[in-house]
């Protein structure tokens, strides 16, 4: 964790320096073709893509950038085809939104710059042992990893009488497993009993949530893309059961959770777009650009679900809009 904190601080300092600099000057090509592969449509990823596009337009000018934006509809095989097609188009850069999209882009090219966003842990996603914060080669990007120890602490802060926590995530998402394992360890250190429940895809999510609710006082759902696209189904089970959910990000919380320690996905995407502008114009080298982390996560709560579950929210939390 200390290593992660040092990487976050370094990235935060770098972002601060970047924010003080003037806008990137468009040099080299008259127009850049930028490919976007987004894994699935949901609030967090949509916001990250919008932030990315806005940053590139702000930095380069709308007349100097063209986007080929495609959505894989939650299917990794489709993400692979999208990235292969973007490579065939000879795009100047690929933005891969979410872990499976990043994996598809990395598999498709080792020469075109690839920037990930909404990716939790690059070492896990790309199978890099002893990851030091810089991927190298043609890959960099931004991470949506919040402080997991602080997310775990929200369980005991909001529900001090809870004794059993169920953690739910999609087994196909390695970064969800990373978060689940980390939060499980923190909660067990606090003396709670923790059980893991996984679902393979959206087809069995309701039954898995039902099982978890039957055996848990509180549920935790990490930044999981499949869960984020199925919040209505989750809420339809958890809310009637009276089981509150701590979420890994704001989109999941708005759909089915009571609270989160969340980042701003638009801001994360915007930072990714600023990185892309620097790489495209030669102001930065993708191979030496470290992964950037969102520096100021915010505690938020869902007023509607908190009211329905009679959850008292302490000071320091902001109501989600």
* Domains and their CATH numbers in the chain: 2-144+263-290 (3.40.50.2300), 148-262+298-319 (3.40.50.2300)
Instruction: Calculate mean pLDDT across residues 168-192.
Output: 95
Q: Residue 13: its pLDDT value, please? A: 35
pLDDT at 292 over 50: yes
Q: Residue 146: its pLDDT value, please? A: 85
Instruction: Calculate mean pLDDT across residues 158-167.
Output: 97
Instruction: Calculate mean pLDDT across residues 132-158.
Output: 95
Q: Where are the beta strands (DSSP E) in 39-186?
A: 65-71, 93-97, 114-119, 139-143, 164-170
Q: Residue 261: its pLDDT value, please? A: 94
Q: Which two tokens stand for residue 237?
A: 């089970």
Q: Which two tokens stand for residue 9?
A: 């601080």
pLDDT at 28 over 90: no
Kindly report the backbone phi and psi dihedral angles of residue 282, in degrees, each rounded to the nearest multiple of 5, phi listed first.
85, 5
pLDDT in tens, 41-82: 988 999 999 999 999 999 999 999 999 999 999 999 999 999
C-alpha–C-alpha distance, residues 93 and 119, integer Å? 17
Instruction: Calculate mean pLDDT across residues 157-182.
Output: 95
Q: Which two tokens stand for residue 166?
A: 């169920």
CB contact at 8 A, 203 and 172: no
245 membership: H or E segment, kind and range: strand 245-247
Q: Residue 21: its pLDDT value, please? A: 37
pLDDT at 2 over 80: no
Average pLDDT, the chain: 91
Task: Compute the 3-state secondary structure of the chain and give helix, strand, coil in percent, each to the nearest 5.
Answer: 50, 20, 30
Contacts of 4 (CB under 8 A, 6+ apart): 145
Cα angle for residues 214, 220, 225 (degrees, 5° grid): 115
Q: Which of 73, 47, 69, 101 is nearest to 251 (CA)?
A: 47
Q: Which of 216, 277, 267, 273 is nearest to 241 (CA)?
A: 216
Contacts of 291 (CB under 8 A, 6+ apart): 7, 11, 122, 133, 134, 135, 140, 141, 142, 143
Q: Residue 29: its pLDDT value, please? A: 86
Tell me 136's DSSP state. Answer: B
pLDDT at 88 over 80: yes
pTM given for the model:
0.78
Question: Which residues are registered as beta bridge partners of 169?
Answer: 198
Instruction: Calculate mean pLDDT across residues 281-288.
Output: 97
Region at 310 (left for phi over 0; alpha for psi -120 to 50; beta for the rest): left
Instruction: Calculate mean pLDDT across residues 248-275.
Output: 95
CB contact at 8 A, 96 and 114: yes
C-alpha–C-alpha distance, residues 303 and 321, integer Å? 9
- For the chain, what percent of residues have pLDDT higher than 70? 91
């Amino acid at each position: 964790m200390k290593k992660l904190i040092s990487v976050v601080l370094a990235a935060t300092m770098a972002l601060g320096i970047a924010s003080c600099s003037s806008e990137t000057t468009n040099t080299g090509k008259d127009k850049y073709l930028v490919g976007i592969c987004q894994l699935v449509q949901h609030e967090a990823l949509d916001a990250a893509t919008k932030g990315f596009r806005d940053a590139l337009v702000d930095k380069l000018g709308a007349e100097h950038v063209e986007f080929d934006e495609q959505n894989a509809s939650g299917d990794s095989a489709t993400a692979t085809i999208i990235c292969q097609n973007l490579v065939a188009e000879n795009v100047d850069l690929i933005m891969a939104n979410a872990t499976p999209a990043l994996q598809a882009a990395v598999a498709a090219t080792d020469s075109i710059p690839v920037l990930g966003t909404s990716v939790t842990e690059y070492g896990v996603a790309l199978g890099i042992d002893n990851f030091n914060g810089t991927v190298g080669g043609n890959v960099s990007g931004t991470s949506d990893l919040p402080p997991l120890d602080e997310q775990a602490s929200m369980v005991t802060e909001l529900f001090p009488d809870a004794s059993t926590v169920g953690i739910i995530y999609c087994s196909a998402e390695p970064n969800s497993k990373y978060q689940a394992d980390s939060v499980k360890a923190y909660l067990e250190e606090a003396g709670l009993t923790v059980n893991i429940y996984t679902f393979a895809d959206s087809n069995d999510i309701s039954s898995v949530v039902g099982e978890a609710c039957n055996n848990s006082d509180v549920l935790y759902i990490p930044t999981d893309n499949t869960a984020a696209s199925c919040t209505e189904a989750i809420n339809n089970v958890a809310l009637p059961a009276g089981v509150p959910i701590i979420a890994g990000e704001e989109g999941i919380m708005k759909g089915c959770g009571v609270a989160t320690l969340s980042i701003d996905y638009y801001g994360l995407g915007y930072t990714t777009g600023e990185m892309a502008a620097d790489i495209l114009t030669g102001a930065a080298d993708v191979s030496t650009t470290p992964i950037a982390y969102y520096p100021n996560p915010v505690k938020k709560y869902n007023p509607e679900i908190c009211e329905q579950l009679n959850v008292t929210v302490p000071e320091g939390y902001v109501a989600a809009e």
